[in-house]
Amino acid sequence: MSRAPRGWLVARMNEGQSPVLFGEGPASSATPPWSSLRRTFGAASLAAGELGADPMAQLEAWLADALEAGELDPNAMSLATADRAGRPDVRIVLLKAVGPRGIVFFGRLDSAKGRQIAGNPHVALCLYWPRLERQVRIRGRAHRLPRAEVGSYFATRPRGSQIGAWASPQSRPIPDRQALERLYDRAAARFGGVATDGAEAGGGISAPPYWGGWRVRPSSVEFWQGRRDRLHDRLAYRRTHRGWRLVRLAP
Ligand SMILES: Cc1cc2nc3c(=O)[nH]c(=O)nc-3n(C[C@H](O)[C@H](O)[C@H](O)COP(=O)(O)O)c2cc1C
C-alpha cells in the first residue's frame, strides 16, 4: 500500500474531515487513517458442495493451499484461552499436526497458556491467510498429549530450540536479556556444548518434563472465504451426536 504524503493528512484535517474515526489513529501523520484502510475481497468463493465431510481433512486441504500460495507461517494460529476468572487471553502458536482427532500444538505446560488450559480446557483457534482471503475458526477442548507423543515431536526439533525449551521459563518475569542468555548458556553446557539454532532437525536432547503439547478436539470449525461487498461465505461444521452438521452463517 502506498503511503500518503504528510501534507495530505494535514489537508484533510484542515477541511474538517476528521481522518481518525476509531481509536487514537496512527502514530505518524504520514500514515493514512486506519479507518481508511480496507481491501476488496472476492478472488474466490465457497459453496457447501466444495467442502468434504470431515472438517479436519478440509483444514488440511486449506493448509496445503496456504503453503502453496506462499503465505508466511501458514500453520501459525491464534490460540485463545481463558483464565480462572473467565478473562480471555490470546497468542500465536504453530499448528504442528492435524488429523481426524484434532489439531496439535506445543509449549510449556506451566506457561500462562498451559496454566489457563489446565484450569479451563475450552479453547479457540483462528488461522488467517491474507493472500487466499481465508480464515478458519475452531472451538473445542484441549487435551494434554501423552509423553510419548511429546517426546517424538521434541526429538525432531533443532538442537538450539531444544536447549531454548530447557532454558526459558516461558511466561515468567526475568530481570533482563542477559539473564535469559545465561540460562541458555547454562542449559547448553549441561547438554554438552553451545548450539546454533539452525534448521537442522533432531538435536539429540529429550523434552523437559515441564514442556508438552495439546490436541484440540474441535466442536465447531468454520471456513470463511472473503467475498465482495462484505458478503463473505461462512460455512461452519458443528459436531452433533450423529456426526458433523454443516450450516451457512451470515457474514
Ligand atoms: C509465529 C509464532 C509462532 C509461535 N509458536 C509458538 C508455539 O508453537 N508454542 C509456544 O508455546 N509459543 C509460540 N509462540 C510464542 C507465543 O506467541 C507466546 O509468546 C508464548 O507461547 C507465551 O504465551 P503465554 O504466556 O500466553 O503462555 C509463537 C509466536 C509466534 C509469533
Cβ(157) to ligand 1 under 6 A?
A: no
Residue 243 CB neighbours (<10 A): 9
Report the range of poorest mean pLDDT among 3-17, 20-34, 53-67, 147-161: 3-17
What pLDDT is recorded for position 192? 85
Q: Judge whether residue 34 has pLDDT over 80.
A: yes
Look over the chain and give the mean of its residue pLDDT values, rounded to a whole number: 89
Q: How many helices (H) and strands (E) does the chain have?
A: 6, 9
For the chain, list the domains and their CATH numbers: 48-150+209-248 (2.30.110.10)
At 131-153, the pLDDT tens digits run 999 999 999 999 999 999 999 99
At 75-128, the pLDDT tens digits run 999 999 999 999 999 999 999 999 999 999 999 999 999 999 999 999 999 999
The average pLDDT across 33-54 equals 94
Q: Catalytic residue among 230, 238, 239, 245, which?
A: 230
Question: Taking the model in full, what pTM does it have?
Answer: 0.88
Cell of 173: 518475569
Residue nearest atom 19 in ligand 1 by C-alpha distance = 91
Among 194, 56, 45, smallest CA distance to 132 is for 45
Cβ(118) to ligand 1 under 6 A?
A: no
What pLDDT is recorded for position 222? 98
Ligand 1 atom showing the smallest separation from residue 170 Cα: 22
The average pLDDT across 218-227 equals 98
What is the C-alpha to C-alpha distance for residues 25 and 30, in angstroms, rounded to an integer? 12
What pLDDT is recorded for position 196? 55
What pLDDT is recorded for position 31? 85
Q: Judge whether residue 4 has pLDDT over 70.
A: no
What pLDDT is recorded for position 202? 72
What pLDDT is recorded for position 203? 75
Q: Is 141 a known active-site residue?
A: no
Element (H, E) at 126: strand 122-129
Segments in 15-129 forming alpha helices (H): 55-68, 112-119
Q: How far is the CA of 90 from the centre of ligand 1 (A)?
A: 10
What pLDDT is recorded for position 164? 94
Cell of 216: 484440540
Residue 173 binned pLDDT confidence (cut-offs 50, 70, 90): very high
Determine the 3-state secondary structure of 4 from DSSP.
Answer: coil
